[in-house]
Structure 1
Amino acid sequence: MKQRLQNFSQAFSFTFSFSRWFGILLKEFIQLKRDRLTFGMIVGIPIIQLLLFGFAINSDPKHLPTAIVMADPGPFARSYVAAMQNSDYFKIVGGVDEKEANALLDRSQVQFVVTFTPGFHRDLVRGKAPTLLVEADATDPMAAGGAISVLNRLGLEVFAPDLPGLEKTATPPLDLRVHRRYNPEGLTSYNVVPGLLGVILTMTMVLMTGLAMTRERERGTFENLLATPATPVEVMTGKIVPYILIGLIQVTLILLAARFIFDVPMHGNLLLLYAVVLLFICANLTLGITFSSIARNQLQAMQMTFFFFLPSMLLSGFMFPFRGMPEWAQVVGNVLPLTHFLVLVRGILLKGNGIDMVWSSVWPILAFIAVVLGIGLRTFRRTLD
């Protein structure tokens, strides 16, 4: 028994060697130096997070596009519009009529429509509280809250110098009537649940296809594809189609949950919605297969997917109001297909937008597919490295 214990201790005994330890350490640094993509992710991801959270993310959005319906273009109304502009919460895009204002709201081109009703100047001078109608696109409740609170106190600040004694009255100078269009109760589920369609599809489609070709390359089965007369287009599209069916199944499950669990309204055409979803799935699958043609292994494919998924989550308008971001962040966000897909799916489900109102958000996704597909075809490797 004693002899067995001695043999056991000898088998597992060791002496720490700094030379061996330094050799292993040096080997890891050399390997990291050769894997430039991994090293770039290690440095790049923290920098991107710092820039996005430090400069781009804003939970109190300002410079929100606002259209003005001026039924009574008097001096008080013009002063109020100027004060709105100076508050930094509103970006006045111009004066429109009521029909054009509704179209701008439906297309998500403005956040607010402010209507100065007839007799606004007369009622204000007579001491009556004139009606100021504010229509807000409430598909994103977070985007409208701060600006509406500014309107509640803006009237007293603007009209008090020209109307003596106004600050002494108990009644507010304006009858501010806020209509939260498309989401009158301000439910966050109306905003989040449709957005999850895009987020889940982005995460799963890009990741699954990103691993498709790299998995075959690591297992050696990619050699069989290289030996066939299949063209790059045939290989890429052949790998994409099965995942399209998976994406459509995911969308169906989410829509069923949105309708029967979260009671999200569905005012638009479901066939149009599925057509838009199909286009978005193709955009993500094209990107995933391009990642797999660039990456040398599955780890790199996953890193590239995360590198794309992080800005998509933060800059698309899913987590934070898109219009509250600085202009450079909105430029980057407009390159991402998720940004336009969120406008499409919320517009179809909550606003009932038809096919004539979706083109402005469809063509950027088509352009994204064309550019990414071209990059993928150029980087497709006909021989193993």
Structure 2
Amino acid sequence: MTAGQLPRWVDLGLIPFLNLAAAFLVSGLVVLLIGENPLNAVYYLLLGSVGSVEGFGYTLFYATNFIFTGLAVAVAFHAGLFNIGGEGQAYIGGLGVAFACLALDQYVPWYVTLPFAVVGSAIMGAAWALIPGWLQAARGSHVVITTIMFNFIAAALMGYLLNSVMKKPGSMQLETRTFEDGGRLPFLNDIFPSAGFGFAPVNLSLFIALIACGLVWLLIWRTKLGFEIRSFGANATAAVYAGISPVRITVITMLISGGLAGMMAINEIMGSQHRLLTDFVTGYGFVGIAVALMGRAHPVGIILAAILFGMLYQGGAELSFEMPSITRDMIIVIQGLVILFAGALEYMFRPALIRMFAPSRPVSA
């Protein structure tokens, strides 16, 4: 172990735990300042998110979105890229899902439509990430700036299409027609009625997200391309010296990242809303950044971090209902604190932990 490094269990387990504990400690102080008991707030938060099977179903539904966007950010991280265009890529991915469902839902069952929706969402999301990736690789345009801009362009494009091209005839709402059964994923409550998920919209896309986690793990740690991605992210100069093309790796990585972000639309469009509408992303792309940071860009960590943010989303609704003084805006503040400590202050505890674990490091010859 070289100077400045930590044992894996500290880097992957203890530091995220300390960041999360600090975020909830500060959140507790905020709750205390408005005159409420932080322990009661934690109780209602857990009660709403995991206190019932139905509540846990909602938690899993939100976690599914965060898994896709977290994986998208994580893949880019491994190549040293910062893709914050998950919002726009998921928006455009929704077009791929909608095209497949609108074309096939009246003629074939859902399990025939699903592969076309998966491929369509991945292709559309990847296509939307292609231009920022190419601009970064070939022209030196910073991917952070271009992906931010493309988020706004995607929102404007979606508004135009839903208002002028794809809107349901005779409707004033910016949405397509509702899909028939051939364009709807089954809810888990329909597949496992005895499980008690109730009205929770968790659906088969949860398993697609878990499969995506496994495939990302295989890609990054078990393939030549994954080795090249990690090598380029660790030291771009050395990677180029070893014969790795920076243009190729940057473009391919952004394509994979955008495809994963686009697949988030499967859960919302085909799994829950059953139609394409505006604002279905609602910040999932940005939260995916915190999920990837807290999960250390590893699929297992991303699953755990996604469940945590799913608990915050679902438990926050129960909390604001039981304790009206804690409004929905307060829940957003708590989520923001978790993002702050998991992201901007991620290395706050690292120097002290390095000093603490320094004596356990072997002395170099």
Indicate the structure (1 or 2) with the bigger Cα radius of gyration: 1
The structure where helix makes up a greater share of residues is 2
Shared fold per TM-score greater than 0.5: no
- Return the structure number with greater relative CO, CA threshold 8 A, min gap 6: 2
Q: TM-score, structure 2 length as denominator?
A: 0.30
The structure where strand makes up a greater share of residues is 1
